[in-house]
Structure 1
Amino acid sequence: MGFLDPTLCVPLVKIHPDVRAFALVPSPSLRHFPRMTGPRYTKLAESLPATVPFVGPEAQERAMGHPFAARIGANENIFGPSPKAIEAMQKAAGDIWMYGDPESFDLRHALAAHHDIAPENLVVGEGIDALLGYLVRLLICNDDAVVTSEGAYPTFNYHVAGFGGTLHKVPYRDDAEDLAALLTKASEVDAKLVYFANPDNPMGSWCAGEDIVAQLDNIPDGCLLLLDEAYVELAPDGTAPVIDINDPRVIRMRTFSKAYGMAGARVGYAIGETQNIRAFEKIRNHFGMNRAAQAGALAALQDASWLSETCSKVEASRQHITEVAAKHGLIALPSATNFVAIDCGKDGTYAKAILDGLVARGIFARMPFVAPQNRCIRVSCAPEAEITLLDKALGDALEDLA
Structure 2
Amino acid sequence: MSERPDQNPLLTPLAASLPSTVPFVGPEAQERAAAAPFKARLGANESTFGPSPNAIRAMRQSVKETWMYGDPESHDLRAALATHLDVGMDEIVVGAGIDGLLDSLVRLTVTTGTPVVTSAGAYPTFNYHVTGYGGTIHTVAYTADFEDPDHLIAKARQVGAKLIYMSNPDNPMGTVHTAATIQRMIEGLPENCLLVLDEAYIELAPNGTAPPLNTSDSRVIRMRTFSKGYGMAGARVGYAVGHASLIGAFNRVRNHFGMSRVSQIGALAALADQDWLADVRDKVEASRQTLYQIAEDNGLIAIPSATNFVTIDCGRDGAFARAVLASLVAQGVFVRMPFVTPQDRCIRISCSVPKDMALVSKALPKALADAQKV
* TM-score of Structure 1 vs Structure 2, range by shorter chain: over 0.9
Describe how 1:122-133 pairs up with structure 2 within 5 A: 122-133=92-103
Structure-1 residue corresponding to 2:353: 383
Describe how 1:59-208 pairs up with structure 2 within 5 A: 59-208=29-178
SS at match of 2:352: coil
- The answer (yes or no) to whether the contact 2:327–2:371 under 8 Å persists in 1 is no
Structure-1 residue corresponding to 2:209: 239
Partners of 2:2 and 2:98 lie apart in 1 by 43
Partners of 1:215 and 1:399 lie apart in 2 by 43
Is residue 2:228 matched to residue 1:258? yes
Letter in 2 for 1:352: R
Structure 1: 5+ residue runs without aligned partners? 1-30
Match of 2:198 among 224, 228, 238: 228
Partners of 1:327 and 1:166 lie apart in 2 by 44
Task: Give the RMSD, CA atoms, in angstroms.
Answer: 1.3
Partners of 2:54 and 2:9 lie apart in 1 by 47
Displacement of 1:384: 0.7
SS at match of 1:252: strand
Displacement of 1:217: 2.5
* 4+ aligned runs moved over 2 Å, structure 1: 37-40, 399-402
What are the superposed Cα offsets for residues 183-232 of structure 1, whole Å, 9 maximum, x if unpaired? 11001100000001000000000000111111222211111001000000
SS at match of 1:345: coil
What are the superposed Cα offsets for residues 286-318 of structure 1, whole Å, 9 maximum, x if unpaired? 000000000000000000110000000000000
Letter in 1 for 2:132: G
Flag the 1:32–1:346 CA change in 2: closer, same or farther, 3 A.
Answer: closer
Is residue 2:289 matched to residue 1:312? no
Q: What is the aligned-residue identity percentage?
A: 59
- The answer (yes or no) to whether the contact 2:223–2:241 under 8 Å persists in 1 is yes
Q: How many pairs does the alignment contain? A: 369
Match of 1:338 among 289, 302, 308: 308
Structure-2 residue corresponding to 1:218: 188
Partners of 1:287 and 1:49 lie apart in 2 by 28
Partners of 1:395 and 1:307 lie apart in 2 by 33
What are the superposed Cα offsets for residues 96-115 of structure 1, whole Å, 9 maximum, x if unpaired? 00000000010000000000
What are the superposed Cα offsets for residues 339-375 of structure 1, whole Å, 9 maximum, x if unpaired? 0000000000000010011011000000000000000
Letter in 2 for 1:180: D
Of structures 1 and 2, the larger Rg is shown by: 1
Displacement of 1:38: 5.2
Flag the 1:89–1:178 CA change in 2: closer, same or farther, 3 A.
Answer: same
What are the superposed Cα offsets for residues 222-278 of structure 1, whole Å, 9 maximum, x if unpaired? 110010000000000000112421100000000000000000000000000100100
- The answer (yes or no) to whether the contact 1:210–1:242 under 8 Å persists in 2 is no
Partners of 2:165 and 2:229 lie apart in 1 by 21
Pick which of 216-225 and 352-361 moved more.
Answer: 216-225
Displacement of 1:40: 2.2
